[in-house]
Amino acid sequence: MIRNAPASELHWFKSSYSDTSNPNDCVEVATAPGTIHVRDSKNTQGPRFAVTPAAWTNFLQLMGES
């Protein structure tokens, strides 16, 4: 299980995989030791999830294939 750090302790940035033609449809990510955090940029106080760096790398590789 991945422990979620408080959002205030993370440095969030828009993912390069977000759709730049519509700034309202963006995913933000933040890195922490051993964890990648993901949230919706339209709802920064809303739900978010965290994955291992290996899971994030696998996800990005799959996105690159589509």
Model confidence, pTM: 0.72
d(CA 39, CA 25): 11
| Residue written as token pair 């700034």 | 23
Top pLDDT among 55 and 2 is at 55
Q: What is the pLDDT of residues 6-63, one digit of tens each?
A: 556 899 988 776 666 766 678 889 999 999 999 988 888 899 999 999 999 998 898 8
